[in-house]
Amino acid sequence: MSANDLPPEVLRWMAHRWRPEPERMGLLVIDMQEYFRPLASGIIQNVERLLHAFRGSGRPVIFTAHGHRDPREDGGMLAKWWGEVILEGTFDHRIMGELGPREGERIIPKKRYSAFYRTPLEEHLHELGVQDLVICGVMTNLCCETTARDAFMRDFRVFFVHDATATSAKELHLASLMNLAYGFAVIVGTEDVLRALAPLSSDTRP
């Protein structure tokens, strides 16, 4: 894997430079919902590029959508911590229109940081033949990092896209990348993922 302009602090702690295997790759797009548009605006283009490449290669794409029906019943500690949640059925709950799932692409609803917590994600990934899980979306240090750690604990190889994940502060983003690089995930860039998928691609347009 190329360093692809990774910060030196991340490179210092990079435990592995594994390459994802195209035939085993799947893309997990975490919580790219209208609620998060302000902080995700800088990564939308790269998420679009990843979606285009996975779809053109015939590899699976899975979305998550965070939402609650009644925070008093299903908010748990998350609602107590933040004091507000995304309510299902609202505009904020929608996945951004330009990233909208296509027919056959599953949306996994979730109510906690991890996309694996009380969801069918693990079983769905196995059904799709995914072993190398590529993670993008928001927020780097909350839902994305927690999901990456849980994926590692379930024996998936995790590839975390540093320029297609975002959070509220650069320091938090960098801290997550360093922690993940040390013990949970291979940190990659969007270009790294596109190159890995190139042998399968049926559409070579930029």
Residues 128 and 112: their CA atoms lie apart, in Å, by: 23
Q: Is residue 40 part of a domain?
A: yes
Q: Give the tokens for residue 106.
A: 């599953």
User: What's the domain count of the chain?
Assistant: 1
Q: Which domain holds residue 148?
A: 8-200
CATH number at residue 39: 3.40.50.850
Q: What are phi and psi of 158, to 5 degrees?
A: -105, 130
Model pLDDT for residues 114-159, shown as the tens digit of each residue: 999 999 999 999 999 999 999 999 999 999 999 999 999 999 999 9
What order do you get walking across the sheet with 106-110 strand by strand?
106-110, 61-66, 25-30, 132-138, 157-166, 186-188
Q: Is residue 206 part of a domain?
A: no
Model pLDDT for residues 30-89, shown as the tens digit of each residue: 999 999 999 999 999 999 999 999 999 999 999 999 999 999 999 999 999 999 999 999
Q: Is residue 173 part of a domain?
A: yes
Q: Is residue 1 part of a domain?
A: no
